[in-house]
Amino acid sequence: MKKGISLALCAALCLGLLAGCGASSQAGASGSAPAEKKGTLNLYTWEGMFPQEVLDGFTAETGYEISYSSFDTDETMLAKLEAAEGGDYDLVIADDYIIETAIAEGLVSELDKTKLENLGNVNPLYQGQFYDPEDAYTVPYGAGVMTLVYDPTLTDVEITSYADLWDPALADNIAVVDNYRVINGMALKVLGESYNVADTQVIRNAGDKLLELAPNIRLIKNDNVQDDLISGEVAAAVMYTSQVTLACLANPELEVVYPEEGVGFGIMAQFIPSQAPNKDAAYAFIDYILRPEVAKQCFEWLGYYCTNQAADDLIEEEYKSFLTLPEGFNTEMEMIENITPEAEEMHMQVWTEFKAACE
Amino acid sequence: MKQRRSLWLMLVPLYVFTLVFVAGPLVYMFILSFETRAETWGVVQEFTLDNYKNIFQPVYLQTFAESFRLAITSTILITLIGYPFGYFMAKLSDAWKKRLMLLLMIPFWTNSLIRLYGWMIVFRANGVLDKLLMALGVIDTPLKLLYTYPAVVVGMVYALLQFMILAVYSSCEKLDRSLIEAARDLGASPAKAFFTVTLKLTMPGLLSGIILTFIPSMGLFFIADILGGNKIVLVGSLIQDQLLKAHNQPFAAALAVVLMLLTTLMISLYKRVTHSSELEGLL
Amino acid sequence: MKRKFRFSSVYLALVLFLIYLPIVLVVVYSFNESKISSVWDGFSLKWYEELFADAALFEALWNSIVLGVASSCAAAVIGTLGAVGFTRVKTRTKGVMEYLSMLPMMTPEIILAMVFMAFFSLLGLPFGMTTLIIAHTAFCVPYIYMLVKARLVGLDPSLAEAARDLGAGEIRVFFDITLPLIAPAIASGMLLSFAMSFDDVIISLFVTGVGVNTLPIKVYTALKTGVTPEINALCTLMLAVTILLVVISGAVGRMRGGAQQTQEGKQ
C-alpha cells in the first residue's frame, strides 16, 4: 500500500515538473505568436473599456482579431511598456499625465493623421492639452470630471463647493476617491491655489487644511464608491465620472455639484507605442471607434464624458446629462499635470498623514 | 559517498531556483534602495542614503507601527481560533478529515476580492448583520461597522485562518495521544496535560502556523483598503503608493528592505521567547 | 467524553459557517438584477447570460488553472526535495538558503512584482506564461517547505534508519518511507500553493505578457470601470464545479471500498 501511494505521489511530482515545462513552452509560443501574426490587434488598457459588440464589430469588419490585455493602473502600464521597450502592444489607452511621461520616454510613435479619416469628429475642447499640445501622438477617448455628489435626504448641508465638505455636520459621512493629487488638489482649490502648484510650503498648507477634513472622511477608495452613496453608507462623495453616471442612474435623487472653486478634469487617450508590431491594426481601430455611431455605443457603456463631438447628438436622452457637459458650463477647469519630484514627495507625505488621520 | 551525492541532488532544485529567481531579484531590490529617483520616471544610478533617511519621518514610522499592530492582533486572534480547529480536526475520523480539508480549501477557489465583497455585504449599513441584530432587538440603529478597524481584523483573520489550521492540523495529526493519556494517568489535570504535553508536541505546527500568518499579514494591505476604507496606512499600502503614485521606486525598495528586516527580527525574537530552538531554525 | 466531542463538533461547524458566510452571499448576489452590489433588485439570471457570452473570461480562467497547477507542482518538487534533503545533509549554507527561500513571503507583493519584472527583462525572458510560472513558483515554495518541514520535525527517524541499515539507498528510502509519511503535508501545501497562485494579482499583472490574462487580472483591472456581478456568477459556477468534483470523487472512493480507504488514511 505504501508503495502505491509513493508511486502515485512520485508520478504527481514528475507530472508537475512536466506540466510546468510543457505549459511554459506552449504558453511561451502562444504568448509571442499573435504579435507576429499579421491579423491581431494587441490592445492594452483597463478591463471593460469597450462593449463586446464594438470589439466584435471591429473584428467582423476589418478582420483583425483583438487580443485584450489589461492593467490596473497607468503606472503598471508604463512599467510594462518600458520593459517591452515600446513593443508588444499596438494600441494603449491610458490617462493624460502618464502619456506625457511616455512621450518623454520615447515610447510613443507619432500619428500619421492621413490614416485617420474620422479624426475631425473629436471634440476640440479635449484637444491640444498639456500632455500632447500639438495633438501629434494621441486621440482622446473619454474625459472625466472630478464631481461631487451628495444625497440631500441624508444631510441638511447644501453643498455647492468643496469648502462645504469641511462642514462639521458631515462628520464621518464623506467618501473620496483614492487619488492623492485629486484630494490634495481639492484642498489646494479651497485655498485658492492651482492643482499643479510647485511650492512645497503651499502643498504643506493644503495638507494642514486636509487634516481638518479628516474627521468627516468615512472612506477612501477607487472602486465602486457609488455603492456606498447608494446604500446610504455616506451622504456625500467625490468620485469619478463613470461612478457618478452609475450612481445617478440608480438614484435620481442624488445632487451632482460642479464645485464653485473650479473642477479638475482628466482625459483618457489612445496612443500607438513606438515599436508597435501592428500599427495598421491600431489605426484601423482608432478610426473605427471615432465613428459617431460606434462612439455613441462606447460612451454609453463607459459612462465617461464623450470626446466625440459628432456622437454627442446621438447619445440617448437618459445618458445625455452624464456624458456631455451641461449647456453653458462655465466653471473653471484645470487638468492635473506632472510636477517636480520635490512637490510630488510633499504631496505624498501630506496624503499619508491625511489617510492616517482619518482613522 | 554515493549516498551523499544523491542527497545533494535533492537539494539542487532548491539551490538553483532560490539563487537565480529569488536571490537575483532581491539583490536587485537591495541595490535599487540606494539609488536616486529620476525626474519623472525610473531611477538614476546615483548612490544615496536618503531613501533610508526618509523613512525616519514620523508619518512613515507610524505606518510601520500600524502594520505591526494589525499583524500582531490578527495573528493572536488567528491562533486562538485556528489552533482549536486544527486540534479538533485531527481527532476526527479519516473520512471527516478529508471532507473538512476540502471544505477549508474550497473558499480559496473563489477570488479573494470577491470574498471581501461578501463581507462588505455583511457589514454594510443596513446590511445582513445590522438587519439580523435589529430583528433580534439587540440594536435599533445601524452599526456602521464597515470601514472600521474591527472590520479589517475580521478580514485579516478570514484571509489567513486556513494557514494556521493546516499547520496545526498536520502537527496534531501525528501527535501520539498515548502520551497525553499517560500524563492524565499520572494525575495531571486536563489543562496541565494540555500545556505540558500537547502544546509542546504541537509547537512545530503552531510555530509554522504563526509564521505563515504573521509574515503575510505584514504585507497584506488590500484588506485594510477595502474593509477599512483605506484609512489605516500600512507599510504595504505606503509602498504601493510610492511605486504607483509617486513613482519613487528607490524609496519603495528601501521601505521593503526595512520591512523585511523587521519581520525577520520579530520572528527570531518570537523564537527566542518561546524557546523553540529544537526546531533547528525555521528561518 | 461524549460531551467534549459534541463541543468540538459545534466549534468546527461554527467556524466553517463563518468561513462560508461571505461566499454564500457572493452566490446569492450573483442572482441580483442590479449591477450595484448594495441594492437587491430582484432575481435575475442575466449575469450568467453575460458570463457565457464572455469567452475571454473563460480563457482567463483556463490560464489561471494551468498556472496554478504548474506552479504548485513545481513548488512541491522543489520545496519537498529541499526540506527532506536538509534533514539529512548538514551544511553551513542551510540557514542562509532557508532564509532566502522564505523571503518572497516577507516581501510585499508589489515590490516583488516590480523587481521580478525588472529582473526578467534583464535576463531577456519573454513575458508570458513562463515568467508567470517562475514568479508564482517563487512565492509558493515557502508554503510547501514550511508545511513539509513541520511534518518532518519529530517524525520517527528510526524507520528510515532501519531501511538504510537493511541496505536501501537514499532514493529508495525517500520514495518508500519518507514520501508516504509526509504526503499529507505535501498535499495541503500544494492545495495552499494552488490557492495562492490562483488568487494572485499584483505579481501576475507585472510579469504577464501580451494577451495572457489570468482570472484575478480580469477582476482587478475592472475596478476602474466597475466590477459587475458577472464575476459573482463565475465564482458561483466554479464553486459548483468544485463541489461536484468533490462529491464525485467521494462517491468513486466509496465504491472502491471503504476498507482500502481507511487503510490509506492510517498511513
Distance from CA of A330 to the nearest CA of C (A): 28
A57, pLDDT greater than 60: yes
- Check residue C264 and give its pLDDT: 43
Distance, in Å, from the CA atom of B52 to the CA atom of C43, rounded to the nearest integer, reads: 55
Distance from CA of C14 to the nearest CA of A (A): 29
Residue B239 touches chain C, beta carbons under 8 Å: yes
Is A79 within 8 Å of C180 when comparing Cβ atoms?
Answer: no
Q: Do residue A217 and residue A336 come from a single domain?
A: yes
Q: Stretch A206-233: mean pLDDT, rounded? A: 90
Distance, in Å, from the CA atom of A6 to the CA atom of C174, rounded to the nearest integer, reads: 9
pLDDT digits (tens, 9 = 90+) for B27-74: 999 999 999 988 778 888 889 999 999 999 999 999 999 999 999 999
- Check residue A22 and give its pLDDT: 41
Q: Do residue A203 and residue A345 come from a single domain?
A: yes
A129-153: b (≥16 Cβ within 10 Å) or e: bebbeebebbbbbbbbbbbbbbbee
Chain C: residue whose CA lies nearest to A89: C210
Q: Which of C36, C54, C80 sits opposite A246 (nearest CB)?
A: C36
Strand order in the sheet with A174-176: A217-220, A174-176, A236-239, A147-150, A255-257
Q: Which of B40, B127, B230 sits opposite A355 (nearest CB)?
A: B230
Q: Do residue A298 and residue A232 come from a single domain?
A: no
Distance, in Å, from the CA atom of B171 to the CA atom of C190, rounded to the nearest integer, reads: 17
C222, pLDDT greater than 80: no
- Check residue B117 and give its pLDDT: 84
Helix axes B112-123, C230-255, angle to 10 degrees: 110
Q: Do residue A206 and residue A133 come from a single domain?
A: no
Is C129 within 8 Å of A28 when comparing Cβ atoms?
Answer: yes
- Check residue A282 and give its pLDDT: 96
Among C148, C194, C210, C219, pick the best mutation site for testing chain A contact (most A Cβ within 10 A): C210
How many C-beta atoms lie closer than 10 Å to residue A284's C-beta?
A: 20
Q: Do residue A224 and residue A199 come from a single domain?
A: yes
Is A347 within 8 Å of B147 when comparing Cβ atoms?
Answer: no
Q: How confident is the model at residue A28 (pLDDT cuts 50, 70, 90)?
A: very low
Which residues 43-62 of B are in CB contact (within 8 Å) with C?
none
Residue A236 within any structural domain of the chain = yes
Is A219 within 8 Å of B230 when comparing Cβ atoms?
Answer: yes
How close are the terminal C-alpha atoms of chain B, in Å?
29
Residue A4 within any structural domain of the chain = no
Residue A10 within any structural domain of the chain = no
Chain A: residue whose CA lies nearest to B226: A221
Chain A: residue whose CA lies nearest to B125: A233
User: Which other chains touch chain A, taking contact as 3+ CB pairs less than 8 Å apart?
Assistant: B, C
Residue B259 touches chain C, beta carbons under 8 Å: yes
Of A183-187, B47-51, C180-184, C219-223, give the lowest mean pLDDT range: C219-223
pLDDT digits (tens, 9 = 90+) for B154-208: 999 999 998 899 889 888 887 878 888 888 888 888 888 888 888 888 887 888 8
Residue A295 within any structural domain of the chain = yes
Is A35 within 8 Å of C210 when comparing Cβ atoms?
Answer: yes
Q: What is the DSSP string of C54-87?
A: -HHHHHHHHHHHHHHHHHHHHHHHHHHHHHHHHH
What is the pLDDT of chain C when averaged over all its residues? 83
pTM attached to this predicted model: 0.83
Task: Give how far Cα C63 sits from Cα of A19, A41, A84, A238, B236, Å.
Answer: 13, 20, 21, 37, 27
Residue A174 within any structural domain of the chain = yes
Q: What is the DSSP string of C125-187?
A: PPSSHHHHHHHHHHHHHHHHHHHHHHHHTT--THHHHHHHHTT--HHHHIIIIIHHHHHHHHH
Residue A221 touches chain B, beta carbons under 8 Å: yes
Q: Do residue A151 and residue A89 come from a single domain?
A: no
Share of chain C above pLDDT 70, in %: 89
Q: Which of A180, A221, A347 sits opposite B229 (nearest CB)?
A: A221
Of A206-210, B101-105, B106-110, give the lowest mean pLDDT range: B106-110
pLDDT digits (tens, 9 = 90+) for A230-287: 888 899 999 888 888 888 888 888 999 888 888 888 999 999 999 999 999 999 999 9
Is C261 within 8 Å of B283 when comparing Cβ atoms?
Answer: no
B220, pLDDT greater than 90: no
- Hey, what amino acid is at B151? A
Q: What is the 3-state secondary structure (H, E, C) of chain B?
A: CHHHHHHHHHHHHHHHHHHHHHHHHHHHHHHHCCCEECCCCCEECCCCCHHHHHHCCHHHHHHHHHHHHHHHHHHHHHHHHHHHHHHHHHCCCHHHHHHHHHHHHHHHHCCHHHHHHHHHHHHCCCCHHHHHHHHCCCCCCCCCCCCCHHHHHHHHHHHHHHHHHHHHHHHHHCCCHHHHHHHHHCCCCHHHHHHHHHHHHCHHHHHHHHHHHHHHHHHCCHHHHHHCCCCCCCHHHHHHHHHHCCCCHHHHHHHHHHHHHHHHHHHHHHHHHHCCHHHCCCC
Of A142-151, B18-27, B123-132, give the lowest mean pLDDT range: B123-132
Distance, in Å, from the CA atom of B184 to the CA atom of B188, rounded to the nearest integer, reads: 5
**Residue B90: which of B3, B170, B181 has the closest Cα?**
B170
Q: Which of C130, C221, C227 sits opposite A27 (nearest CB)?
A: C130
Q: Are A300 and A249 in contact (CB under 8 A)?
A: no
Is B26 within 8 Å of C115 when comparing Cβ atoms?
Answer: yes
Kindly list the residues of chain B whose beta carbon comes within 8 Å of any beta carbon in chain A: 37, 39-42, 57, 59-60, 62-63, 66, 124-127, 144, 146-147, 149, 225-226, 228-233, 238, 241-248
Distance from CA of B227 to the nearest CA of A (A): 9
Q: Do residue A272 and residue A128 come from a single domain?
A: yes
Q: Stretch A25-36: mean pLDDT, rounded? A: 39
Q: Which of B125, B126, B231 sits opposite A359 (nearest CB)?
A: B231
Q: Look up the CATH number of the domain holding residue A233.
A: 3.40.190.10
Beta strands in A52-184 (DSSP E): 65-70, 91-95, 138-145, 147-150, 174-176
Which residues 225-284 of A are in CB contact (within 8 Å) with B?
231-233
pLDDT digits (tens, 9 = 90+) for C45-88: 888 988 888 888 889 989 999 999 999 999 999 999 999 888 87
Q: Do residue A94 and residue A129 come from a single domain?
A: yes
Q: How confident is the model at residue B152 (pLDDT cuts 50, 70, 90)?
A: very high
A6, pLDDT greater than 80: no
- Check residue C227 and give its pLDDT: 67
Domain encompassing residue A205: 145-263+328-358
Q: In chain C, what residues touch A300 (CB-CB under 8 Å)?
A: none
Strand partners, A143: A267, A305
- Check residue B197 and give its pLDDT: 85
Is C130 within 8 Å of A10 when comparing Cβ atoms?
Answer: no
Among A101, A107, A348, A354, pick the best mutation site for testing chain B contact (most B Cβ within 10 A): A348
Classify residue B141 as exposed, middle or buried by CB count within 10 Å of its CB (0-12, 13-18, 19+): exposed
Q: Stretch A62-85: mean pLDDT, rounded? A: 90
Distance, in Å, from the CA atom of B121 to the CA atom of A39, rounded to the nearest integer, reads: 45
User: Which other chains touch chain B, taking contact as 3+ CB pairs less than 8 Å apart?
Assistant: A, C
Query: What backbone phi and psi angles, to 5 degrees, belong to B228?
Result: -105, 5
Which residues 91-150 of A are in CB contact (within 8 Å) with B?
101, 104-105
Q: Do residue A259 and residue A303 come from a single domain?
A: no
Residue C185 touches chain B, beta carbons under 8 Å: yes
Q: How many CA atoms lie within 13 A of C177 on its CB side?
A: 19
> C90's torsion region: left (phi>0), alpha (psi -120 to 50) or beta?
beta
Chain B: residue whose CA lies nearest to A357: B231
Share of chain C above pLDDT 90, in %: 22
Q: How confident is the model at residue A327 (pLDDT cuts 50, 70, 90)?
A: low
Chain B: residue whose CA lies nearest to A350: B59
Q: In chain B, what residues touch C146 (CB-CB under 8 Å)?
A: 167, 208, 211-212, 282
- Check residue A307 and give its pLDDT: 92
A127, pLDDT greater than 60: yes
What is the pLDDT of chain A when averaged over all its residues? 85
C255, pLDDT greater than 80: no
Give the SS3 label for residue A110: coil
How many B-C residue pairs are in contact by the CB < 8 A criterion?
A: 266
Structurally, chain A folds into a number of domains equal to: 2
- Check residue B280 and give its pLDDT: 40
How many A-C residue pairs are in contact by the CB < 8 A criterion?
A: 187
Q: In chain B, what residues touch A233 (CB-CB under 8 Å)?
A: 124-125, 144, 146-147
More confident residue, C108 or C32: C32
Q: In chain C, what residues touch A72 (CB-CB under 8 Å)?
A: 201, 205, 220-221, 223-224
C259, pLDDT greater than 80: no
Q: Are C128 and A31 in contact (CB under 8 A)?
A: yes
Give the rounded distance of the alpha carbon of A133 from its chain centre. Answer: 20
Residue A7 within any structural domain of the chain = no
Degrees, nearest 5: CA angle C161-B168-C163: 10
Chain C: residue whose CA lies nearest to B101: C188
Distance, in Å, from the CA atom of A252 to the CA atom of A262, rounded to the nearest integer, reads: 24
Q: Do residue A76 and residue A187 come from a single domain?
A: no
Is B3 within 8 Å of C170 when comparing Cβ atoms?
Answer: yes
Chain A: residue whose CA lies nearest to B146: A233
Is C219 within 8 Å of B114 when comparing Cβ atoms?
Answer: yes
Residue A216 within any structural domain of the chain = yes
Is B231 within 8 Å of A217 when comparing Cβ atoms?
Answer: yes
* Domains annotated on chain B, with CATH: 58-279 (1.10.3720.10)
Of C23-27, C78-82, C158-162, C186-190, give the lowest mean pLDDT range: C158-162
Residue A28 within any structural domain of the chain = no
Is B246 within 8 Å of A344 when comparing Cβ atoms?
Answer: yes
Q: β-strands A65-70, A174-176: how paired?
A: unpaired
Residue C26 touches chain B, beta carbons under 8 Å: yes
Distance from CA of C18 to the nearest CA of B (A): 9
Is B244 within 8 Å of A180 when comparing Cβ atoms?
Answer: no
Q: Do residue A153 and residue A252 come from a single domain?
A: yes
Q: How confident is the model at residue A29 (pLDDT cuts 50, 70, 90)?
A: very low
Q: How confident is the model at residue A133 (pLDDT cuts 50, 70, 90)?
A: very high
Give the rounded distance of the alpha carbon of C146 from its chain centre. Answer: 14
A114, pLDDT greater than 80: yes
Q: Do residue A78 and residue A214 come from a single domain?
A: no
Q: In chain B, what residues touch A218 (CB-CB under 8 Å)?
A: 147, 229
Of A43-57, A95-109, C80-94, give the lowest mean pLDDT range: C80-94
Q: Stretch C167-189: mean pLDDT, rounded? A: 84
Chain C: residue whose CA lies nearest to B211: C146
Of A169-173, B20-24, B116-120, give the lowest mean pLDDT range: B116-120
Task: Give how far Cα C234 sits from Cα of A5, B102, C19, C192, C225, Å.
Answer: 35, 20, 19, 21, 18
* Domains annotated on chain C, with CATH: 55-228 (1.10.3720.10)
Distance, in Å, from the CA atom of A130 to the CA atom of A142, rounded to the nearest integer, reads: 16
